[in-house]
């Protein structure tokens, strides 16, 4: 089992910044990702990091604006979100994958992850 606790969401004006965090505990995992779900929409991939090697991938919609990073000692991943837009409004979820993470394909879809956090709301006002 892996327990994930997210924090750091909130309300920000367009153009502003927020950082969300996700602390993991329990068994080891191979990758940690961020997804988001806006009202009436599917949960979509945002960013992911392969834990051991630090390789990173982003959704095209957030490239250049969002940065994912990790603190190995704290088993924590961060998502720094800059230049936020109203379209970024969503519940942000972190998730971990315990299986093989040597290819990107499973890391870019929600089905590739085994454990999920409870989500944190990010609201960007125009």
Per-residue pLDDT reduced to its tens digit, 51-83: 999 999 999 999 999 999 999 999 999 999 999
Q: What is the pLDDT of residue 101?
A: 85
What pLDDT shows up at residue 67? Answer: 98
- How many CB atoms are located within 10 Å of the residue 15 CB? 11
pLDDT at 102: 85
Lowest mean pLDDT among 21-25, 53-57, 77-81, 98-102: 98-102
Residue 126: C-alpha distances to residues 9, 67, 84, 86, 107 (Å)? 17, 22, 10, 6, 32
The pLDDT, as a whole number, for residue 124 is: 98
Statement: residue 17 has pLDDT above 90: yes
């Amino acid at each position: 089992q892996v327990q994930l606790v997210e924090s750091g969401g909130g309300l920000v004006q367009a153009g502003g910044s927020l950082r969300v965090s996700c602390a993991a505990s329990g068994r080891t995992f191979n990758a940690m990702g961020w997804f988001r779900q806006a009202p009436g929409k599917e949960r979509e991939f945002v960013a992911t990091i392969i834990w051991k090697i630090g390789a990173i991938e982003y959704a095209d919609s957030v490239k250049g604006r969002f940065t994912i990073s990790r603190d190995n000692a704290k088993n924590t991943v961060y998502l720094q979100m800059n230049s936020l837009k109203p379209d970024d409004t969503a519940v942000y979820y972190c998730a971990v994958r315990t299986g093989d993470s040597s290819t990107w394909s499973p890391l870019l879809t929600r089905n590739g992850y085994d454990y999920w956090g409870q989500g944190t709301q990010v609201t960007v006002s125009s």
